[in-house]
Structure 1
């Protein structure tokens, strides 16, 4: 008689076998995981051993990256006892102006119309030489040189001290030729050099992306804000050290104004900027220093924050609070 298997015993054996398989599988996975972790740790240690650790002296943590404070920066413009007269000395526009403007800062000139702020701005690169019968007494020094001394090369001065006017004034030629005009007038003829100057200047003026595909188009086809930035690019192409801006956003809408203000904040890394503005809000947004003029006199000149929060002179307080002007 052939013996028969007990079905219950056979079923139990199968369950025991499956349980053992699961246990073995988990053990294998755990072993692989541990092995992988050990290999990873070994790689980390090997990597650490290849790095040379250099000890840094405590003083080196600051001296290499610390930027000079505003008060410690070099004075690049110095105005000394400046008197300015129109009409052969019969009409005084500026009286005994004394101030020093520091490198890589933005200085705002504020004050009511006719107070002399634009006259002083134009005096810094001798644009007032184009006005008949003016009389100037005192000195304006740019990088230590009195620009009103006899024998000063005015054309060279205006290369060093660029000017951006109240109303955008692009030439009625192409965008490219507008920017290239200054370098060409200085005798630069190398096309590759001109191309690089044009691109660099348009990039710094935050205009390159807008016009790079339309460089041969007329500059007069640009919007008002773009035309003003083109004029800034044209000034930058001359590689000046100082940029003078006479109400550069007065004819622009708020969006274009914001773009020019953002540009000014970027440009001060490379240039010293002096801006005339009637906007108190603009002065607080873009300038490091503010000078308040009234009736041809410099009433107060200080850090912008101090001028607008704690002015020393009652006249300054009255003007910035809107009591007159």
Structure 2
């Protein structure tokens, strides 16, 4: 397939009216009028030995939106995603320069309650990682560690979270069965329910459908569009078609630099940077 045809195939997945008419809740204001809930300013990330992975990243992310990070492997997408809730703190010898604010609070300032941050900014990983516990215990695990003891409250959290993850009807009669017995797609939705149970305001998703079949992928995408009504979602994806189907904003990364950041429509229809166009047309890739 030629590079032009590949880009055309990608654009076919982009409904130009979708984000403004069908999937956005009527009560949400226009994207440009929503508040910035994540502000990344002159952000640099270094691995041990001062190996730089991100270079002077600047971007703002709106509330109740879906933002996708695209780009070839090793370009810094996941590194930035994990910086937003300081998951990268777990990497020995890593360091940062610059600023990330979440709800106008600098998350890298001294004294930041990182546990609270990770409660407000939930994470869903590439591979579903349910605990070797029952479905019920997976969902309520976080609230229990936060001190919730009431069985009635925990039951309600479990049901609410599974409903929001579009999984309740499938598992309501087998909550005490092992979570590892679920299908791959169900396990990933369970992990989303587990994140939701902590009442986050932001959900970070690192290629959440890469290990799923097309039907399971579609279910997760439909779920993500529904979750946008209540949460701000930032997702890393290697699927350009997925970015066109679900995201409001798209950021293209290359070699640790943010090359272009704009509405998904503009990124895929009229990119400003030739490097972006090369990537989405298939002339440059992984």
Aligned residue for 1:195? 155
The 5 A counterparts of 1:1-325 are: 67-89=28-50, 91-325=51-285
**Secondary structure in 2 matching 1:88:** coil
**Secondary structure in 2 matching 1:140:** strand
Structure of higher CA gyration radius: 1
Looking at structure 1, the residues matched to 64 and 205 of structure 2 have their Cα atoms a distance apart, in angstroms, of: 15
Gapped regions of structure 1 (runs ≥ 5) = 1-64
Shift, 1:87, TM fit: 1.4
**Secondary structure in 2 matching 1:166:** coil
Q: Confirm or deny: 8 A CA contact 1:88 1:135 kept in the other structure.
A: no
**Secondary structure in 1 matching 2:49:** helix
Looking at structure 1, the residues matched to 73 and 28 of structure 2 have their Cα atoms a distance apart, in angstroms, of: 37
Looking at structure 2, the residues matched to 176 and 307 of structure 1 have their Cα atoms a distance apart, in angstroms, of: 41
CA deviations on 1:139-172 (whole Å, 9 max, x unpaired) are 0000000100000000000000000000000000
Looking at structure 2, the residues matched to 67 and 114 of structure 1 have their Cα atoms a distance apart, in angstroms, of: 35
Shift, 1:295, TM fit: 0.4
The one of the two structures with greater contact order (alpha-carbon pairs below 8 A, sep at least 6) is 2
Looking at structure 2, the residues matched to 83 and 242 of structure 1 have their Cα atoms a distance apart, in angstroms, of: 22
Kindly tell me: are residues 66 and 245 of structure 1, through their superposed partners in 2, closer, same or farther at Cα, counting changes over 3 Å? closer
Shift, 1:67, TM fit: 3.8
